[in-house]
Amino acid sequence: MNEDIQRYFDDNQNSWDAKVDIHKESSFYNLKDFQSGESSLIGPEVEELGNVYGRSLLHLQCHFGMDTISWVRKGAMAVGVDFSEKAIQLAKELNEAEENRAQFIQSNIYDLKQNLSGQFDFVFTSYGTIGWLPDLNKWAEVVANFLKPGGTFYIIDFHPVVWMLDDKKMKEIYYSYFNKEVISTEDHTYTDHEGTHRKFMTHGWNHPISEILNALLKQDLILEHFNEYDYSAYNCFTGLTKIGEHKWQFEGREGIIPMMYSIKMTK
Ligand SMILES: C[S@@+](CC[C@H](N)C(=O)[O-])C[C@H]1O[C@@H](n2cnc3c(N)ncnc32)[C@H](O)[C@@H]1O
């Protein structure tokens, strides 16, 4: 791996480690309700992924494992992976209260083949994932490697159009739709609407839909659906207004801007 990429990963890993302490106290993640049994899965993924009962599921970039554990509560045998040591530590603590039915592994997605073996019925990843990964061809290789023949890959994430906007002036186009270069920013985390906590140096990459689909298609995965949504399931950008239950849109832009997409593919 080249030195710059390693430095970007190191900064990102440090920032995610530090964000865990803020996120676990936030109303955004609402750990209290989760620990009383509420599911953290609130978007189209529940219906679109379908029945996971008795099936194995690999969750890539699981943060501190709320969604991984929520899939387990629906009957899946789930493994969550994230490169943040602090996130995996908290995931394991939450898992203890669930009789350790999930499994958690600390690994960079790109190193996962060295840290995990086996294949899964589902590979799942959601909300704020591939924007942290510079090379989607290598990512798609990892996805395909861990899918059983006949298994399903599912991603739901924020639409690349949203990543063109500057978070402070959400109505202005600021970044390229295309993957032109690394985007380095120093900013507050998305649970911190008041900006009361520290800023974090992070590095990300914008990936157009064509890049995402082509990387997966190169692995011979078969496209089942590609959906786009005119809302975000989470209130995680500046200037959003509520337009329904778990539905947020930029004020004045209702029905205009695509905010999420989902892709379902079979191996
Ligand atoms: C926005 S969170 C994922 C969102 C998740 N749905 C949630 O909120 O619970 C992004 C996660 O990706 C992880 N991450 C970023 N780059 C990674 C990499 N190269 N390998 C593994 N995990 C990575 C971060 O540590 C973080 O936990």
Q: Is residue 84 part of a domain?
A: yes
**pLDDT over threshold 80, residue 176:** yes
Testing ligand 1's pocket by substitution, the residue of 21, 28, 59, 82 carrying the most ligand atoms inside 8 A of its CB is: 82
| pLDDT tens digits along 39-53 | 999 999 999 999 999
What DSSP line would sit under 120-180, residue for residue?
A: EEEEEEESS-GGG-S-HHHHHHHHHHTEEEEEEEEEEEE-TTGGGB-SSSTTSB-S-SS--
Q: Is residue 241 part of a domain?
A: no
Q: Is residue 200 part of a domain?
A: no
Q: Is residue 145 part of a domain?
A: yes
Q: Is the CB of 131 under 6 A from ligand 1?
A: no
Check which CATH number belongs to the domain holding 213 and give it. 3.40.50.150
pLDDT recorded at residue 170:
60
Q: Is the CB of 136 under 6 A from ligand 1?
A: no
User: Using CA atoms, how far apart are residues 193 and 244, in angstroms rounded to an integer?
Assistant: 20
| pLDDT tens digits along 139-174 | 999 999 999 999 999 999 999 999 999 766 666 888
pLDDT recorded at residue 199:
85
Domain range spanning residue 81? 3-158+205-230+259-266
Mean pLDDT of 24-52: 96
239 confidence band (pLDDT: 50, 70, 90): confident
The answer to whether 60 and 124 have CB atoms below 8 angstroms apart is yes
Atom number in ligand 1 closest to CA 125: 6
Q: Is residue 176 part of a domain?
A: no
The answer to whether 73 and 46 have CB atoms below 8 angstroms apart is no
Q: Is the CB of 89 under 6 A from ligand 1?
A: no
pLDDT recorded at residue 151:
98
Mean pLDDT of 97-105: 98
The answer to whether 206 and 164 have CB atoms below 8 angstroms apart is yes
Testing ligand 1's pocket by substitution, the residue of 129, 135, 190 carrying the most ligand atoms inside 8 A of its CB is: 129
- Exposed/middle/buried for 146, CB within 10 Å: 0-12, 13-18, 19+? buried
Mean pLDDT of 66-89: 98
Q: Is residue 215 part of a domain?
A: yes
Give the number of other Cβ atoms within 10 Å of residue 96's Cβ.
Answer: 8
**pLDDT over threshold 70, residue 194:** no
Give me the number of domains the chain comprises. Answer: 1
Percent of all residues in the chain with a pLDDT value above 90, rounded to a whole number: 82
Q: Is residue 167 part of a domain?
A: no
Query: Range with the lowest mean pLDDT among 50-59, 121-130, 213-222, 231-240?
Result: 231-240
231: Cα within 13 Å, side-chain hemisphere? 15
- How far does residue 252's CA lie from ligand 1's centre (Å)? 30
pLDDT recorded at residue 141:
98
Q: Is the CB of 158 under 6 A from ligand 1?
A: no
Could you tell me which residue, 255 or 102, shows the higher pLDDT?
Answer: 102
pTM for the model: 0.96
Q: Is residue 78 part of a domain?
A: yes
Residue 120 CB contacts under 8 Å (≥ 6 apart), including other chains: 56, 57, 58, 79, 146, 147, 148, 151
User: Using CA atoms, how far apart are residues 180 and 182, in angstroms rounded to an integer?
Assistant: 7
pLDDT recorded at residue 2:
83
- From atom 20 of ligand 1, which residue's Cα is the shortest distance away? 108
pLDDT recorded at residue 113:
98
